[in-house]
Amino acid sequence: MARRSLGLALALLVVALASGCGGLGRQRLTLGYLGWDENVANSNLNKVLLEDEFGYETVDLKLADDVRPVFEGVASGELDAFTDVWMPNHKALVNAVEGETELSEESWYTGQTEYGIAVPNYMQTRSIADLNSSSASMIVGIESGAVLMHRIGENLIPEYGIDLGLVEASTPAMLAELRRAYIAKEPIVFLAWSPHWMNAEYDFRYLEDPKDAIGPLDESAELHSVMRSGLQEDDPVAYALINAMKLDEAKVNTLELSINRAGDPQQGVRDWLEKEENREAVQSWIEAAKKAEQ
């Protein structure tokens, strides 16, 4: 009888291991993300920490081509979380999935954000009102679903009577065009935001908006995470880690630059974590997740 009980116990242990009980390395998680560098950075940082520190079998990162589908994916449960919600910029999107998602209580970014239309410092333009005389032929934008893209097309261009066309592009494509124009010292008008490594890489200025056509979008925002309903109960470790995430401007910029230099997001994250000050910065998140695991 004792032998049969032992066999049953072993069988149950195998089942428990296979189903991921107790953080033993079988959990799976899916994070939605966009090609925004801070989102690439914090998504991959969460992936590396969950896989390396907590033995997750895999944390899938699912790239979306626009922001609205990411919110819809979290609401439907297809995605477990999205870690780059700009508030109040994304307030309408958050409200649309209220009741099916949970927004983190605190901002994961501890610095001051910036968001707006910018030009390199070698250009003389200082105001959106002066764009028609800037020698630039277009405003190089990002993904069409970005809130600022809508505001530029619907408010800013007609308000100022701007002749420049607004070009939709992926964030990497916009950054590539910025790099090309910057090296050649050509005029370029583009969308810029902070936190982002472009603020450390290039000398540029955010343009003044005397008519307030952009509205509150260029004011400092809070960066949150949105998680599907039930994630805390289903995966307390991931829930705790995501909620504990805190990064300042310097940490975000150096993490993004490490990823760019490595040419591989996970390798860039691991290179960044090798530095003692960065490892110390994430230790409190790890401890919060370990506490939730118990």
Q: pLDDT tens-digit profile of 77-127?
A: 999 999 999 999 899 999 999 999 999 999 999 999 988 999 999 999 999
Cis peptide before 210 (omega within 30 of 0): no
Compute the average pLDDT of residues 188-195: 94
Distance CA 13, CA 124 (A): 69
Q: Are residues 208 and 227 in the same domain?
A: no
Distance CA 91, CA 102 (A): 13
Higher pLDDT, 21 or 290: 290
For residue 17, being part of any structural domain is answered with: no
Placement of tokens 């607004």 in the chain: 166
Compute the average pLDDT of residues 150-172: 94
Question: Could you tell me the CATH number of the domain that includes residue 168?
Answer: 3.40.190.100
Question: Which among 123, 117, 293 is positioned nearest to 214, based on CA atoms?
Answer: 117
Tally of structural domains, the chain:
2
Q: Whole-structure pTM over 0.85, yes or no?
A: no
Distance CA 269, CA 262 (A): 9
Burial of 2 (0-12, 13-18, 19+ CB in 10 A): exposed
β-partners of residue 117 are 191
* pLDDT for residue 16 is more than 60: no
Q: Are residues 155 and 139 in the same domain?
A: yes
For residue 9, being part of any structural domain is answered with: no
* pLDDT for residue 209 is more than 90: yes
Binned at pLDDT 50, 70 and 90, residue 140 comes out as very high
Q: Are residues 126 and 165 in the same domain?
A: yes
Distance CA 56, CA 266 (A): 15
Domain end: 218, 244, 269, which one? 218
Q: Residue 248's domain spans which residues?
A: 25-110+222-293
Higher pLDDT, 227 or 20: 227
Q: Are residues 120 and 143 in the same domain?
A: yes
For residue 13, being part of any structural domain is answered with: no
